[in-house]
Amino acid sequence: MLPSALELERVRKVFSRKQRSLARRVSHTSGRKDVVALESLNLTVDRREIFGVLGPNGSGKSTLIRLVSTLLLPDSGTIRVFGHDIEKEEFAVKRLINRVSVDAAFFKKFSPLENLTYAARLYGMPMSEARGKMREILLRLGLKEETFTEPMERMSRGMQQKVAVARGFLTSPSLLLLDEPTTGLDPYSKRDVQAFVREVRESHDATVVLTTHDMDEAERLCDRIAILDKGKVIALDTAEGLKNLVPKQDGNAPTLEDVFIALTGGRMEDKELEVAE
Amino acid sequence: MSRLVNESRGAYAFIERNVHLIKRYWGWELVWFFYSLVNSLAVTYIGAGMERISGQPMDTEYLIMYLLVGTLIWTYLSMIFYSISEMIAWERWEGTIEYTFMAPVSRPTQLVGTTLFAIGYGVFRTLLTLLIVAAFFRLDLSQANLGGAVLLLFAGSVSFVGLGILAAVLPLLYPERGAQMTNAAAALLLLVSGVYYPIAILPVWLQWIARGSPATYVIEGMRACLLHRAPTGSLLSTVFPLIGAGCGVILVGLFVFQRVERYAKKTGRLKRSG
């Protein structure tokens, strides 16, 4: 039997944060505070699945994505990508994944083509193949040809994010990690990106893990959705299955947002202070 | 074979990226080049003025060449040091560190690309400085063993690559202050390595540190080569230990870097930008 695209077993991640001197004096504690980002997390994502992760700020979504991206190491537990352990077979995992994060990080003075060329070379792609693919993906995402050689710093946030999406797809990853990829995009751009995600899953057999605050997006794209709170999965099902967890609201079927609020319980302000993910 | 091809593509990515960075930040590069050129000229003019400062007759031409060799070799070695030590700092400044560290490219490959760029750019800038300085002073290279000088420069490059890797660890550990710490390390090397004076004039404890700096041997050897036409054979007793020690420091540097990278991944230090 083929291994799942992604398996997490009892994954725990704690960050030790330095407290500011005032907070330390008020709380009469030592200089460091442990913040639990993920608590004994178990999760399995099937091949070719678009798997959504919802959760309030500080719930552990970005930590989860960073762990799978090999940018963080778990304190305990195991993470396997297509059967490869992220610690023991880091290189094999890196070849299978790519990530689009909410903050499109680029060499700001480089053009989209220069940034994508850098990415293609890092991933060992032959340039003869990469050049055509870059243009194809950028055009498919709605970028105009004349912007390809403009410095990224002159582009709008939305255009930069589209280049980030193009970079994520350029290397044809088997597992694509999308960390709030459409945050800050206008509705047209959002639709472009969402359509592209679906298209890539169909054409390339890719598995996608998507974290988002956009409930419509999660419902539209994801086969299954996990709701994360305080580093734990508190619910996991299809969008329809999740809606069945909550009673009808004034006789109407609950929306995914209703489910989210009911399950996470309106403690979002507290959480925003709790962890800087 | 395919692994080798992929890694060479990865190494080239860093060379090409650094060339683009130089092109895009050309204004800054020009400012730094001007600063370094003026610094070289100012130091060399001290040699030209020594006879007047002391009121004693002196071999001014020798003094000029003595200081010029020091300043040019330091320009080159510090370029190697900064190019490598800043490989992480650049990623922090641009915010791309996570993307680069997530890519399937090994750290030694990143280092090979960065080093090749550093040597090429270092040679280019040093030669340009030499050409401009030559317009200000009469340079007598009739006593120079240029072949030996190239050999020493190569040995010096190897030794500074390792130091650069060790210094690159600092921005990984200290996102905000790491880059400044590498400046302090370079300043200490400048003080003890006999760039502008013989290390014999330093206090004994600083001379001990000087003996640990590869720049001391490179600069001493270069002066012997360019000012006293030391034969290449006599330089080998400096060249081989420099290359040997350099390779040792590179291995230690890579080991330390990998340990620190792991620590950074454990503690979440890759994310924060400086």
**pLDDT for position A135:** 95
Alpha helices in B56-203 (DSSP H): 60-94, 97-102, 107-134, 146-173, 178-192
**CB neighbours of A139 closer than 8 A, spacing ≥ 6?**
A145
Show pLDDT as tens, one digit a residue, over chain A (277 residues).
Answer: 788 999 999 999 999 877 666 666 666 666 778 889 999 999 999 999 999 999 998 899 999 999 999 999 999 999 999 999 999 999 999 999 999 988 878 999 999 999 999 999 999 999 999 999 999 999 988 899 999 999 999 998 888 989 999 999 999 999 999 999 888 788 888 888 888 888 888 887 899 999 999 999 999 999 999 999 999 999 999 999 999 888 877 778 888 998 999 888 865 444 444 444 4
Q: Say yes or no to pLDDT of B118 above 70.
A: yes
CA distances from A116 to A15, A110, A148, B117 (A): 33, 10, 10, 20
Whether residue B273 has pLDDT greater than 50: no
| Distance (Å, whole) CA A254 – CA B180 | 55
Residue A25's pLDDT is what?
66
A262: domain CATH number is: 3.40.50.300
pLDDT digits (tens, 9 = 90+) for B230-241: 999 999 999 999
What stretches of chain A adopt beta strand conformation (E)?
6-18, 32-45, 50-54, 76-81, 84-85, 97-100, 175-179, 207-211, 224-229, 232-237
Q: Which of B6, B266, B268 sits opposite A124 (nearest CB)?
A: B6
What torsion do the CA atoms of B176, B180, B184, B186 make, to the nearest 10 degrees? 120
Taking CB atoms and an 8 Å cut-off, how many pairs form between chains A and B?
90
Binary contact (B103, A97; C-beta < 8 A)? no
* Overall residue count recorded for chain A in this entry: 277
For residue A44, what pLDDT is reported? 96
More confidently predicted of B175 and B7: B7
Reply yes or no on whether the pLDDT at B159 is more than 80: yes
CB distance B94–A107 less than 8 Å? yes
The closest CB to that of A118, out of B17, B24, B98, belongs to B17
Domain of residue A256: give its range: 6-274
**Cα distance from A133 to chain B (closest Cα, Å)?**
17
Q: Is there a domain that residue A48 lies in?
A: yes
Please indicate, yes or no, if residue A1 is contained in any of the structural domains. Answer: no
Please state the ipTM of this predicted complex.
0.86
Q: Give residue B1's pLDDT.
A: 60
Most A-contacting residue of B22, B25, B99, B107 (CB-CB within 10 A), to test interface: B99
Residue of B nearest to A17 (CA): B267
Question: pLDDT tier at B25 (50, 70, 90 boundaries)?
Answer: very high
Instruction: Give the pairing of strands A32-45 and A6-18.
Output: antiparallel
pLDDT band, residue B146 (cuts 50/70/90): confident
3-state DSSP helix/strand/coil % of chain A, to nearest 5:
40, 25, 35
Interface residue A15 vs chain B (CB under 8 A): yes
Q: What's the confidence (pLDDT) of residue A266?
A: 60
Please tell me the total count of domains within chain A: 1
Q: What is the pLDDT of residue A271?
A: 45
Which residue, chain included where needed, has tokens 């991944």? B265
Domain ranges of chain B: 2-267
